[in-house]
Chain A
Amino acid sequence: MLPLFLLNLADDRLILGHRLSEWCGHGPILEEDIALANIALDLIGQANLLLELAGAVEGRGRSADALAYFREAVEFRNALIMELPRGDFAFTVARQFLVAVHGMLHLEKLQSSTHADLAGIAAKALKETRYHARHSADWMLKLGDGTPESHRRVQEAVDELWRYTGELFEMDDAERALVAEGIATDREALREPWRAEVSRVLQAATLQVPDDGFMQRGGREGRHTEHLGHLLAEMQIVARSYPGAEW
């Protein structure tokens, strides 16, 4: 149960970090290019720690690299929102914002997990994620309250992403059991604080908060969009072409 929960946390960060790294060299200005690459590296660093822990807890001798590079798409547990193509800059900013606010609230709880290693990783990741939330919120304000075109693009992004946010608050029975042990935390309880913070920033950015409608799901059970396979092909090709290579 614990290894799968750790894979949920790790895969969210690994896949989003890889998506974000696609901006490297393509950012709108030099400073933002560096900022996006920094955030991508933070996420991949968090994923690395979580994958190592997942491998250790699982006890089958799988390293972080083995878990990142030698699993198939159906074995990935990330939420679908992480794997969607990077879109335009407004889409990237909106996704980072929605996910970072959730990550911040989640990690605030997980840093008092009864599992000491997980609590330590959460405390470290929380500092990074607070910065990610601040950085993306600043861009939400600038795009939302910017030009008619930036407003339109970021509103469309929020509207499109909204149906992927429900999955962030989902828990299966295994995770509920971990909540009972004090290892995991109740994701359902994160929903209202998340909505409050997201609404606060969207309103300040003159953006509409979408209504909750149909929510996409399936990532936690390995049912992914077509986009994940393409992402994994690129992410895994070197490690799979040269198994055991070190660099």
Chain B
Amino acid sequence: MSQGKPPDGTPDSQWPLWEVFIQPQYGAPHEHCGSVHAVDAEQALLNARDVYARRNEGMNLWVVPSSAIVGSTPEDVGPFFDPANDKAYRHPQFYKVPRGVKVF
């Protein structure tokens, strides 16, 4: 957990970080809702339950070691996302919905 480590090389006093994903209802995708500290998977799951599922928020929880997540960097913004700007035809509203198809 590099972001929690003091710069002077002293050991990180925090437990490992886990990202928490919650499924609001059956069939829905899991959504990222935050993170917890925990020493192992069982404790991460229990902590996630206590911190993020106290108010009937969901049906299922995932916890993932934060170190296992690979993210894009701010420098990636241009090459990753700019090319999409002038390609509006990729949006579905360019296509007519045939009559008889129920729009929802």
The residues of A with any CB-CB pair to B shorter than 8 Å are 29-32, 34-35, 38, 131, 134-135, 138, 142
For residue A206, give the distance in angstroms from its CB to the closest CB of chain B. Answer: 17
Check B39 against A35 for contact (C-beta < 8 Å): no
* Residue interface mask B1-26, A partner, CB < 8 A = 1: 00000000000000100000000000
Partner-contacting stretch, out of B41-49, B66-74, B78-86, B90-98: B41-49
Partner of A142, one of B37, B43, B47, B51: B43
CA distance A135 to B50 in the complex (A): 10
CA distance A4 to B49 in the complex (A): 35
Kindly list chain A residues whose C-beta atoms are within 8 Å of the C-beta of B36. 31
Kindly list chain A residues whose C-beta atoms are within 8 Å of the C-beta of B49. 131
Check A31 against B42 for contact (C-beta < 8 Å): no
Partner of A134, one of B15, B39, B46, B54: B46
Check A31 against B39 for contact (C-beta < 8 Å): no
Known contacts A31-B47, A134-B46, A142-B43: does B37 contact A38 (CB below 8 Å)? Answer: no
Known contacts A34-B50, A38-B50: does B37 contact A138 (CB below 8 Å)? Answer: no
Question: What are the 9 A-B residue pairs with the smallest beta carbon separation, nearest first?
Answer: A31-B47, A35-B50, A34-B50, A31-B36, A38-B50, A34-B51, A135-B46, A138-B42, A31-B51
Kindly list chain B residues whose C-beta atoms are within 8 Å of the C-beta of A30. 37
Check B47 against A35 for contact (C-beta < 8 Å): yes
Q: Is B61 an interface residue (CB 8 A)?
A: no
* Residue interface mask B25-61, A partner, CB < 8 A = 1: 0000000000011110011001101110010000000
CB closest chain-A residue, reference B42: A138
CA distance A30 to B50 in the complex (A): 11
Kindly list chain B residues whose C-beta atoms are within 8 Å of the C-beta of A35. 46-47, 50
Kindly list chain A residues whose C-beta atoms are within 8 Å of the C-beta of B50. 31, 34-35, 38, 135
| Cβ contacts A to B, 18 pairs, < 8 Å | A29-B15, A29-B37, A30-B37, A31-B36, A31-B37, A31-B38, A31-B47, A31-B51, A34-B54, A35-B47, A35-B50, A38-B50, A134-B46, A135-B50, A138-B42, A138-B43, A138-B46, A142-B43
CB closest chain-B residue, reference A33: B50
Kindly list chain B residues whose C-beta atoms are within 8 Å of the C-beta of A32. 47
